[in-house]
Structure 1
Amino acid sequence: MDEIIKDYLHFLLIERGLSGNTIKSYHQDLEEFANYLSNKSINNLNDVNSLIILDYMKSMKEHGKARNSIIRFISTMRKFFKYLLRFHYIKNDPMVKIDTPKQAQHFPSVLTIKEVDKLLSVPNTNDKYGIRDRAIFEVMYATGLRVSEMVHLKMDNLHLEMGIIQTLGKGDKERIIPIGTQAIKWINFYISNSRSKLLKNRRSDYLFLNAHGSGLSRQSIWQKIKRYVSLAGIKKDVTPHTLRHSFATHILENGADLRIVQELLGHSDISTTQIYTHISHEHLNKSFNKYHPRA
Structure 2
Amino acid sequence: METKDNIIKKYRNYLLLEKSLSPNSIDAYMTDLDKLSGFLGDEGLKAEDVKLDDLQQFIAQLYDLGINARSVARIISGIKSFYNFLVLDGYMQADPTELLETPKIGLKLPTVLSLDEIEKLMSVIDLSTKEGQRNRAILEVLYSCGLRISELTKLKFSDLFFDEGFIKVEGKGSKQRLVPVSHTAINEIEKYLYYRREMDIKKGSEDVLFLSNRGTAISRIMVFHFVKQYADQAGIKKTISPHTFRHSFATHLLEGGANIRAIQLMLGHEKITTTEIYTHMDREYLRQEIIEHHPRNKK
TM-score by length of 1: 0.54
Q: Deviations over 1:95-136 (max 9, x none)?
A: xxxxxxxxxx64100000000111112211111110100000
The sequence identity of aligned pairs, in percent, is 44
**Is the Cα–Cα contact under 8 Å of residues 122 and 231 in structure 1 kept in the other structure?**
yes
Q: Deviations over 1:38-83 (max 9, x none)?
A: xxxxxxxxxxxxxxxxxxxxxxxxxxxxxxxxxxxxxxxxxxxxxx
**CA distance in 1: counterparts of 2:146 and 2:154, whole angstroms:** 14
Runs of 4+ in 1 over 6 A off after TM superposition: none
**Is the Cα–Cα contact under 8 Å of residues 110 and 245 in structure 1 kept in the other structure?**
yes
SS of residue paired to 1:123 = coil
2:240 counterpart (238, 241, 248)? 238
1:255 counterpart (254, 257, 272)? 257
**CA distance in 2: counterparts of 1:154 and 1:190, whole angstroms:** 14
Q: Which runs of 5+ in 2 are unaligned?
A: 1-106, 273-299
**CA distance in 2: counterparts of 1:121 and 1:209, whole angstroms:** 22
Give the greater-gyration-radius structure (CA). 1
1:268: Cα distance to partner? 2.0
**CA distance in 1: counterparts of 2:202 and 2:266, whole angstroms:** 35
**Is the Cα–Cα contact under 8 Å of residues 133 and 192 in structure 2 kept in the other structure?**
yes
**Is the Cα–Cα contact under 8 Å of residues 137 and 189 in structure 2 kept in the other structure?**
yes
Correspondence for 1:222: 224
Q: Which runs of 5+ in 1 are unaligned?
A: 1-104, 271-295
**Is the Cα–Cα contact under 8 Å of residues 146 and 241 in structure 1 kept in the other structure?**
yes
**CA distance in 1: counterparts of 2:153 and 2:175, whole angstroms:** 16
Matching of residues 1-295 of structure 1 within 5 Å? 106-192=108-194, 194-199=195-200, 204-269=206-271
**CA distance in 1: counterparts of 2:241 and 2:150, whole angstroms:** 13
Which protein, 1 or 2, shows the higher relative CO under an 8 Å CA cutoff with sep ≥ 6? 2
**Is the Cα–Cα contact under 8 Å of residues 198 and 210 in structure 1 kept in the other structure?**
no
**Is the Cα–Cα contact under 8 Å of residues 202 and 216 in structure 2 kept in the other structure?**
no
Q: Deviations over 1:257-287 (max 9, x none)?
A: 11011001001236xxxxxxxxxxxxxxxxx
1:205: Cα distance to partner? 1.3
**CA distance in 2: counterparts of 1:201 and 1:221, whole angstroms:** 20
Q: Aligned residues, how many? A: 165
Give the CA RMSD over aligned residues: 1.5
**CA distance in 1: counterparts of 2:115 and 2:259, whole angstroms:** 19
**Is the Cα–Cα contact under 8 Å of residues 199 and 209 in structure 1 kept in the other structure?**
no
TM-score by length of 2: 0.53
1:201: Cα distance to partner? 8.3
**Is the Cα–Cα contact under 8 Å of residues 128 and 197 in structure 1 kept in the other structure?**
no
**CA distance in 2: counterparts of 1:208 and 1:218, whole angstroms:** 11
